[in-house]
């Protein structure tokens, strides 16, 4: 494997301790800020090739298009945004994939934009949902400064080899004061990773490069002048038809909500904004 060593992207410290190894990679924790990340990791050009050519095979596209849970998850995300933005504006979904989230947002009146590296994902979003989406990275788009009301990164930031330049660019194109950056990532301090360690399903270090906690994610955002960071409360979704399913859902929802309150849930969602340039 063609690997590279990096310093911690939050605090630039090189000193780390080994947490565990998986699939030929080491997951370490920064001695200074405790960010968990893969080091060494695959080089950036190898990661991009995987996203461009292999990320949405036919079986995955079919699952996303027809799976009820996928649609319920996208609806939950949009509902939470609309609570904060009752008047729709411009929204950019970075890592938009096949465009499911943007399709729902467009139906609600948002002016939608999407960016993704996957040619298959972008092609599907254009052909099936007629979305305004671009294949490439956000730097190539050269969006105007202070252009977007909302920018979303759902399970994207953990894949980004260099998060610091990306967050600087998102700060530039987001509207100050009332603009909102939404970041959702797997929780590197979740109850599940504490119990399962390297066997937690979200641990696949070939492409999940970072395992953020609420603390390390907030620190990374504040490093880029997002001086208002709010930890969100993502809600469990599920089927509720029939009495048994309703009871199961109610029990799981209660447990999930408790874990969210304690910052031990499977995912972290943060809403970030800035009051000045």
Q: Which residues, in sequence order, are bridge partners of residue 18?
A: 28
CA 8, CA 220: separation in Å to the nearest integer?
11
CA 251, CA 129: separation in Å to the nearest integer?
36
Nearest in space to 137 (alpha carbons), one of 74, 55, 51, 218: 51
CA 47, CA 128: separation in Å to the nearest integer?
27
The predicted-structure confidence for 191-241, as pLDDT tens digits, reads as follows 999 999 999 999 999 999 999 999 999 999 999 999 999 999 998 887 667
pTM surpassing 0.85? Answer: yes
Nearest in space to 194 (alpha carbons), one of 36, 2, 57, 15: 36
Say yes or no to pLDDT of 32 above 80.
Answer: yes
What does residue 268 show for φ and ψ, rounded to 5 degrees?
Answer: -115, 135
Taking CA atoms, 241 is separated from 249, 251, 257, in Å, by 10, 15, 21
Domains and CATH numbers, the chain: 44-237+265-273 (3.40.50.150)
Say yes or no to pLDDT of 50 above 70.
Answer: no
The predicted-structure confidence for 107-165, as pLDDT tens digits, reads as follows 999 999 999 999 889 999 999 999 999 999 999 999 999 999 999 999 999 999 999 99
């Amino acid at each position: 494997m063609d690997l590279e060593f990096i310093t911690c992207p939050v605090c630039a410290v090189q000193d780390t301790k080994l947490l565990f190894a998986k699939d030929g990679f080491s997951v370490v924790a920064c001695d200074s800020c405790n960010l968990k990340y893969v080091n060494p990791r695959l080089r950036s050009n190898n990661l991009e090739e995987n996203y461009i050519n292999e990320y949405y095979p036919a079986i995955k596209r079919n699952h996303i298009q027809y799976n009820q849970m996928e649609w319920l998850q996208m609806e939950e995300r949009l509902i939470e945004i609309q609570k904060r933005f009752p008047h729709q504006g411009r929204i950019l979904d970075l890592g938009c994939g096949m465009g499911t989230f943007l399709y729902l947002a467009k139906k609600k009146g948002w002016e939608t934009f999407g960016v993704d590296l996957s040619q298959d994902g972008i092609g599907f979003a254009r052909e099936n949902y007629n979305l305004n989406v671009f294949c490439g990275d956000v730097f190539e788009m050269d969006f105007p400064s202070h252009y977007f009301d909302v920018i979303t990164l759902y399970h994207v930031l953990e894949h980004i080899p260099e998060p610091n330049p990306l967050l600087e660019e998102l700060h530039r194109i987001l509207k100050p004061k009332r603009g909102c950056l939404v970041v959702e990532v797997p929780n590197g301090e979740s109850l599940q990773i504490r119990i399962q360690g390297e066997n937690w399903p979200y641990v696949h270090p070939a492409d999940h490069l970072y395992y953020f906690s609420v603390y390390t994610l907030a620190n990374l955002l504040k490093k880029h002048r997002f001086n208002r960071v709010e930890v969100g409360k993502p809600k469990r979704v599920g089927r509720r038809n029939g009495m048994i399913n309703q009871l199961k859902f109610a029990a799981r929802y209660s447990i999930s909500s408790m874990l969210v309150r304690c910052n031990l849930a499977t995912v972290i969602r943060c809403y970030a904004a800035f009051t000045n340039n």
